[in-house]
Amino acid sequence: MKEETKKQLDYMLKTLEKAGVYDHAGHIVQFDMETACPRDAMEEQADLVAYLNNQVFKLTHTKAFIAAVDHLHAHEEELSVHEKAMVDSFYRMFRRTRDIPASVDHKINKVFNKAYVDWIKAKEAADYSLFEPSLKAVREAELKKMEYIHDRKERPYDELLDLFEPGMTQEVLDDCFAACTERLLPLLAKIRKSPKKIRTDFLYREVPDTAQAEMSRYLMDLLGYDFNRGMFTTTEHPFTDSLGRKDTRITTHYDPHHFISSMYSIIHETGHALFDMFSPDAEWDYHYHEEKSMGQHESVSRFYENIVGRSRAFTDLIYDKTCEIFPTAMKGVSPDEFYEGINMVEPSLVRTEADEFTYVFHIIIRYEMEKLIVNEKADIRKLPLLWKEKYEHYLGVTPGNDAEGILQDVHWTSGFGYFPTYALGNFYNAMYYNRMKKELDVPGLIAKGQIPVINHWMEENVWKNAARLDADPWIREITGRSLDPTDFLDYLENKYGQIYGL
């Protein structure tokens, strides 16, 4: 490595060490705000998060830091694989942020954090009007950021998609979702007409939070979560956050009358956590740990939640323990009824509680709305009505209030473009599951509780290179193919065709 390159690399690493202190503190305060902070203190705490995030922005947007990244990017042949990954992550970010003044960045962060506080209040009151001004401000903030991009994409929404899934476009998603509706809507109609009767009454028997917490811990331990490097607690909307190299935390939410909601929430979030816990140390050493795309991340969380967690082998594996922890709810429930109940297909209102089959329609609805909100600047006041129309069109259900309708998700408090990655995650994991099945007896391993063998395969094939590869080269490295929803659609047709005798 030449002397100037070494000098710039040293400067970049030292700066990122300083910025990392603020970033770490920001994650801790954010986690506290979303889990333990008193309601009346939330807005003040949100301002603190905005301040800490802004310090990171200032340190990584000085002329000297930008110059260091530019120099290193121009001399990448002198860098190691991990140094290059670090430089590439900042060089790509600077396309969007290098010209944004620190003061503007601070204001935008405050908009997002205030939106979260307003969303909490609005959801509790089931009153969209309390959130409406903040949602409008979020859209304005998103569009304001784009004004500083010199080579921005023609459509604003493509910029937002690229932020969460680099290289993703509306054309690709339109084709994928068209394939989903073409194959799944007719199948949904057949399922609903099927004479197969699935028992679900036991799923709504009352289960106390203490028992659900015990089940959560059992499932996390079964899947390989390291409690020496993590913990779990509750919040309004479940999430996972890596606060540090050895600190990955999970949150969940308990519904006393729907115990599988927290069970599959915790399995989903444990998938996210495993991805981070098993990441190479180099991602932290070179500050590109957060470069994994959300499609990559959601592929893992939904792999554990659905392909593993809703499989017959897994429900049989946890059946006895579920009966032990939930004796009243599981009284008189057979293993067959447990498996089928967990996989019951029933159009519903709430995305996070949707069955595996209809879940993709919840994402399509949000995707179609986000395009209208961002590209067409749809009237923010009329969104609840649009939401109801789309739920009636795709799923034949209508929300009775805003809490189970447009206010159910937290994501719009921090912008747009995330939701499609949930569907992309399904497409990706079905692709690599088909390869995994050729190399491992997956149902046999699950049946024996040998989840670590599956985790090791995931570590070597899915997790190891995710942060330094964009999603397309990553999935091609794993499967030899680019994104294709066909594997996922085949998986659903086969699984639910068997369950419903189609």
Q: For residue range 382-397, list pLDDT tens digits in order.
A: 999 999 999 999 999 9
pLDDT > 90? residue 39: no
Residue with tokens 């509306």: 170
Residue 281 CA to chain centroid, in angstroms?
22
Residue 15 CA: distances (Å) to CA of 3, 62, 69, 71: 18, 10, 12, 15
- pLDDT tens digit sequence for 400-409: 999 999 999 9
Is the model's pLDDT at 1 over the cut of 90?
no
Contact 457, 308 (CB under 8 A): no
The SS3 of residue 408 is coil
Better-predicted residue by pLDDT, 151 or 422:
422
> Helix 132-146 crosses helix 102-125 at what angle (to 10 degrees)?
150
Q: What is the structure's pLDDT at 38? A: 92
Report angle CA 92, 93, 99 to the nearest 5 degrees. Answer: 115
387 token code pair: 């939401």
239 contacts 335 by C-beta, under 8 angstroms: no
DSSP string, 197-209: ----GGGGS---H
- Match 């569907």 to its residue by tokens: 423
Cβ–Cβ < 8 Å for 160, 407: no
* 50-to-112, 162, 411 alpha-carbon distances in Å: 9, 23, 17
Q: Which token pair is 300?
A: 């893992």
Give tens-digit pLDDT for 419-437.
Answer: 999 999 999 999 999 999 9
Q: What is the Cα gyration radius of the chain?
A: 23
User: Residue range 7-35: average pLDDT?
Assistant: 96
Q: Which of 414, 413, 352, 408 is nearest to 123 (CA)?
A: 408
What mean pLDDT is predicted for residues 363-375? Answer: 97
DSSP character for 90? H
The CA-atom distances, in angstroms, between 157 and each of 135, 375, 427 are 16, 6, 21
The upper half-sphere exposure of residue 397, i.e. CA atoms within 13 Å in the direction of its Cβ, equals 17
Angle between helices 42-59 and 102-125 (to 10 degrees): 150
Q: Of 375, 381, 373, 339, which is closest to residue 356 (Cα–Cα)?
A: 339
For the stretch 324-354, pLDDT in tens is 999 999 999 999 999 999 999 999 999 988 9
Q: Parallel, antiparallel, or unpaired for β 240-244 and 230-234?
A: unpaired
In this prediction, what percent of the chain has a pLDDT beyond 90? 96
174: amino acid identity, one letter: D
- For 1, 68, 208, 284, the CA distances from 6, given in Å and listed in that order, are 6, 10, 58, 19
* The domain defined by 170-499 carries CATH number 1.10.1370.30: yes
- The residue with tokens 């999430």 is 239
DSSP string, 261-325: HHHHHHHHHHHHHHHHHTS-HHHHHTT-GGGS-HHHHHHHHHIIIIIITTSHHHHHHHHHHHHHH
In this structure, what token pair is assigned to residue 108? 């935008």
DSSP summary character for residue 36: T
C-alpha distances in angstroms, 208 versus 214, 215, 269, 438? 10, 11, 21, 41
Strands of 230-234's sheet in order across: 230-234, 247-252, 240-244
Can you read off the two tokens belonging to residue 404?
Answer: 């189970």
- Yes or no: say if 56 and 23 are a contact pair by the CB < 8 Å rule: yes
pLDDT category at 63 given cuts 50, 70, 90 is very high
Q: Residue 151: pLDDT above 90?
A: no
As a whole number, the mean pLDDT across the chain is 95
214 a catalytic residue: no
The answer on pLDDT for 502 being more than 90 is no
Task: Tell me if residue 31 falls in helix, strand or coil.
Answer: helix
Look-up of token digits 């932290």: 284
Determine which one of 83, 142, 165, 269 is catalytic.
269
Any residues with CB less than 8 A from the CB of 71 and at least 6 apart, and which? 4, 5, 8
Instruction: Quickly state the pLDDT bin for 236 (edges 50, 70, 90).
Output: confident
As a whole number of angstroms, the distance between CA 338 and CA 139 comes to 43
Given this model, what pLDDT does residue 53 score? 95
- Contact 85/29 with Cβ under 8 angstroms? no
In this prediction, residue 243 carries a pLDDT of 92
The average pLDDT across 366-390 equals: 96
Q: Sketch the domain layout of the chain as residue ranges.
A: 3-115, 170-499
Cα 116 from Cα 414, distance rounded (Å): 8
Note the pLDDT tens digit of each residue in 105-126. 999 999 999 999 999 999 999 9
